[in-house]
């Protein structure tokens, strides 16, 4: 589970954590019973205060996504069937549009943007499927 924060988006960090964990569980890439990273570990990775991460975890527990077992860690609860592919693709529509717009603003469009993305995929070690 690799979380990615965007400090310029305006969305508060604790909300970004909540939303990303929810997306991962909904898509099935985080399975029921799996453990989330300990609060202090995640706080270090994301360079956030522990209180902030704790708040995100508390919110996730409040929404029934995870279960907080004091002293043992946080675990994903069973959330039923993972989403179908269309639903998962729909989750990406908004962030993709945002990227296209931002690219347009620096006058990079169409295939040039696609090329750039492929380059970053290669660099992140994610070869074309």
Partner DNA sequence: GTGGTCTAGACCACA
Partner DNA sequence: GTGGTCTAGACCACG
Counting contacts by CB under 7 A, is residue 18 touching DNA? no
Task: Tell me if 3 contacts DNA by CB under 7 A.
Answer: no
Closest CA to 98 of 28, 2, 6: 6
Q: Least Å distance between CB 121 and DNA?
A: 29
Residue whose tokens read 């603003």: 105
Q: Tokens for 122?
A: 């290669």
Does residue 14 interact with DNA by CB under 7 A?
A: yes
Which residues, at least 6 apart from 74, have a Cβ–Cβ distance to it below 8 Å?
Answer: 35, 36, 38, 39, 57, 60, 61, 66, 67, 68
- With CB under 7 A as the contact rule, the residue among 2, 4, 64, 70 that binds DNA is 70
- SS3 state of residue 102: helix
Is 33 a binder of a second copy (CB under 8 A)? no
Q: How far is the CB of 11 from DNA (least distance, A)?
A: 8
Sign of CA dihedral 124, 129, 88, 80: negative
To DNA, the closest distance from the beta carbon of 15 in angstroms equals 6
Q: Which residues bind DNA (CB under 7 A)?
A: 10, 12-15, 36, 38-41, 47-52, 54-55, 57-58, 61, 68-74
């Amino acid at each position: 589970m690799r979380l990615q924060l965007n400090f310029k988006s305006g969305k508060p960090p604790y909300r970004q954590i909540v939303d990303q964990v929810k997306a991962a569980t909904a898509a099935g890439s985080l399975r029921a019973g799996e453990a989330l990273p300990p609060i202090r570990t995640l706080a270090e990775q994301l360079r956030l205060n522990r209180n902030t991460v704790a708040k995100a975890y508390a919110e996730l527990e409040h929404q029934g996504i995870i279960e907080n077992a004091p002293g043992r860690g946080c675990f994903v609860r069973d959330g039923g069937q993972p989403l179908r592919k269309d639903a998962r693709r729909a989750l990406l529509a908004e962030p993709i549009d945002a990227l296209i717009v931002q690219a347009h603003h620096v006058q990079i469009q169409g295939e040039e943007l696609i090329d750039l993305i492929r380059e970053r995929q290669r660099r992140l070690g994610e070869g074309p499927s």
